[in-house]
Amino acid sequence: MTTGKRALIVDDSRSARVILSRMLEQHGLTVDTAESAEQALEYLQRIRPDVIFMDHLMPGMDGFQAVQAIKADALTATIPLMMYTSQEGELYVSQARALGAVGVLPKTVRPVDVSRILYQLHLLPDRRTQRSALFPGPAAAAAYAAENGNGHEASIAAALAAGQGEAADPSATGTRPAVAPLGLPAPGEAAQAMSFTPAVAQELQAGLRQSMQQLVKDQLSEQRRFMLATFEAFARRMGGELRDGIAKIPPPPSPESLIAPSPPRQWWPVVMTALLAVIPTIVLGYMMWQTAMTNERLARELVETRAVAERAKADAIAATARATATVASTEPMGGGAGADGSDAAVAIEYVPYGETPFSGSRLERLRAIAAALEDKQFKGSIRVESFVGDFCLAEASGEGFAIAAGDTPVAKCDLVGNPFDDSLSTAQRQSLDFANYSAMLRKRTGGSIRIDVVNAGRRQPIGYPEQNDKTTASAWNVVAAQNNRVEFHVTPGA
Sheet holding 485-492, edge to edge: 345-350, 485-492, 380-387, 449-457
Contact of 36 with 10, CB cutoff 8 Å: yes
Of 36-50, 165-179, 417-431, 450-464, the range with the lowest mean pLDDT is 165-179
Of 31-35, 82-86, 124-128, 298-302, the range with the lowest mean pLDDT is 124-128
Mean pLDDT over 11-34 rounds to 91
Contact of 203 with 141, CB cutoff 8 Å: no
Mean pLDDT over 455-481 rounds to 85
**Consecutive H or E run containing 481:** helix 473-483
Contact of 402 with 392, CB cutoff 8 Å: no
Quote the pLDDT of residue 260.
58
Quote the pLDDT of residue 192.
43
Closest CA to 387 of 486, 479, 482: 486
Quote the pLDDT of residue 395.
84
- For residue 324, what are the contacts with CB-CB under 8 A and spacing of at least 6? 350, 352, 478, 481, 482
Inform me whether the pLDDT recorded for 455 exceeds 60: yes
Q: Mapping DSSP to helix (H, G, I), strand (E, B) and coil, where does residue 340 land?
A: coil
Mean pLDDT over 269-273 rounds to 79
User: Sorting pLDDT into bands at 50, 70 and 90, what band is 7?
Assistant: very high
Paired strand residues for 34 = 10
Quote the pLDDT of residue 225.
65
Higher pLDDT, 97 or 277: 97
- Total residues belonging to the chain: 494
For the CA atoms of 52, 58, 59, 60, what is the dihedral angle to 10 degrees? 50
Q: Mapping DSSP to helix (H, G, I), strand (E, B) and coil, where does residue 196 land?
A: coil
Residue 400: which region, alpha, beta or left (left: phi > 0; alpha: psi -120 to 50)? Answer: left
Inform me whether the pLDDT recorded for 446 exceeds 70: yes
User: Sorting pLDDT into bands at 50, 70 and 90, what band is 166?
Assistant: very low
Closest CA to 483 of 465, 466, 458: 458
- Amino acid identity of 148? N
Mean pLDDT over 102-119 rounds to 88
Q: What is the mean pLDDT of the chain?
A: 76
- Winning range, highest mean pLDDT, from 12-21, 136-145, 173-182, 225-234: 12-21
Quote the pLDDT of residue 137.
47
User: Sorting pLDDT into bands at 50, 70 and 90, what band is 329?
Assistant: very low
pLDDT tens for 154-163 read 444 444 444 4
Paired strand residues for 348 = 487
Can you give the pTM of this predicted structure? 0.34
Higher pLDDT, 347 or 337: 347
Distance CA 12, CA 37 (A): 9
Mean pLDDT over 7-26 rounds to 92
